[in-house]
Structure 1
Amino acid sequence: MKWVTYDAGAGVRTGVLDGETVRGLRPGVGLLALLEADALAEAGDTARRAPDEVRPLADVRLRAPLPRPPSVRDGLCFLDHLRGCYRALGRSEELHPVWSERPGFYFSNAAAIVGPHDDVPIAPGSQAFDLELEVAAVIGCGGRDLDPATAERHIVGYTLFNDWTARDHQLGDLAQGIGMGKAKDSAVTLGPALVTADELEPFRRDGRLAPTLSATVNGEEITRGSLDRMDWTFGELLAYVSRGVDLAPGDVIGSGTVSGGCLLEHVDTPDLTGFAGWLRPGDVVSLCGEGLGETRQTVVAGTDVIPLRPGA
Structure 2
Amino acid sequence: MVKIARWNHDGGTQSGFVDNGNCYALPAGQGVQSLLDAGLDETLDLARKVTGSATPVPLADVHLLAPLVPATIRDFVAFEEHVEGVRKSIDGVAGVVPEWYEAPTFYFTNPHTVTGTGEVIGIPAGCEDLDFETEVAAVVGRVPGSDGRNLTADEAHRHIFGYTVLNDWSARDLQRREMKVSLGPCKGKDFANTLGPWIVTADEFEALHDAEGFLPISMSVEVNGEAIGQDLLSNMGWPFAELVAYASQDSVVRPGDVLGSGTCGSGCLAELWGRNGSKTPPPLKTGDVIRMTVEGIGTIENSVGERREAVTRVPARSRPRNRVAPVVTAGT
Indicate the residue corresponding to 1:242 in structure 2.
248
Conserved? CA contact 1:90–1:270, under 8 Å = no
* Number of the residue aligned with 1:41: 44
Secondary structure at 1:299 match in 2: strand
**How far apart are residue 159 of structure 1 and its match?**
0.2
Counterpart CA distance in 2 for 1:235 and 1:5 is 26
Counterpart position of 2:78: 77
Q: 3-state DSSP class of the match of 2:180? A: helix
Q: Is 1:16–2:22 an aligned residue pair?
A: no
**1:150 aligns to what SS in structure 2?**
helix
Following superposition, the deviation at residue 268 of structure 1 comes to 6.9
SS at 1:301's partner residue?
strand
- The equivalent residue for 1:229 is 235
Contact 2:16-2:25 at 8 Å conserved across structures: yes
Cα drift, residue 227 of structure 1: 0.6
Deviation at 1:282, TM superposition (A): 0.4
CA contact (8 A) 1:13 1:28 kept: no
Q: CA deviation at 1:245?
A: 1.0
**Structure 2 vs 1, CA of residues 268 and 240 (structure 1 numbering), >3 Å: closer, same or farther?**
closer
The match for 1:289 is 294
Deviation of 1:169 after TM superposition, in Å, equals: 0.3
**Number of aligned pairs?**
308
Does 2:162 match 1:161? no
User: What letter matches 2:111 in structure 1?
Assistant: A
The verdict on how the C-alpha distance between 1:307 and 1:116 changes in structure 2, with shifts beyond 3 A counting, is closer
**Secondary structure at the counterpart of residue 111 of structure 1:** helix
Q: Structure 2: 5+ residue runs without aligned partners?
A: 318-332
Q: What is the deviation of 1:196?
A: 0.3
The alpha carbon displacement at 1:270 in A equals 9.1
Which residue of structure 2 lines up, in the alignment, with residue 32 of structure 1? 33
SS state of the match for residue 33, structure 1? helix
Is the CA contact 2:132–2:168 (under 8 Å) kept in the aligned structure 1? yes
2:177 counterpart (150, 166, 172): 172
Of residues 50, 55, 61 in structure 1, which corresponds to 2:53?
Answer: 50
Q: Secondary structure at the match of 1:107?
A: strand
Q: TM-score, normalised by structure 1?
A: 0.92
Shift of 1:269: 9.4
How many angstroms does 1:229 deviate by? 0.5
- Provide the secondary structure at the position in 2 that maps to 1:176: coil
| Cα RMSD for the two superposed structures | 2.1
Q: 1:184 to 1:219 in 2, by over 3 A?
A: same
Give how far 1:177 is off: 1.3
Question: Aligned pair 1:213/2:219, yes or no?
Answer: yes
Alignment of 1:42-191 (within 5 A): 42-51=45-54, 53-66=55-68, 68-89=69-90, 91-141=92-142, 143-191=148-196
Choose which of 245, 259, 263 in structure 2 pairs with 1:257. Answer: 263
SS in 1 for 2:176: helix
1:151–1:307 CA distance, 2 compared to 1 (3 A) = closer
Q: SS of the residue aligned with 2:153? A: coil
State how far apart, in whole Å, the 1-side matches of 2:89 and 2:312 are.
30
CA separation in 2, counterparts of 1:266 and 1:236? Answer: 28
Deviation of the 1:85 alpha carbon: 1.1
Specify the code of the residue in structure 2 equivalent to 1:165: S
**Could you tell me whether the CA contact under 8 Å between 2:87 and 2:274 is conserved in 1?**
no
Tell me by how many angstroms 1:184 deviates: 0.5
Kindly provide the amino acid, as one letter, of the partner of residue 246 in structure 2. Y
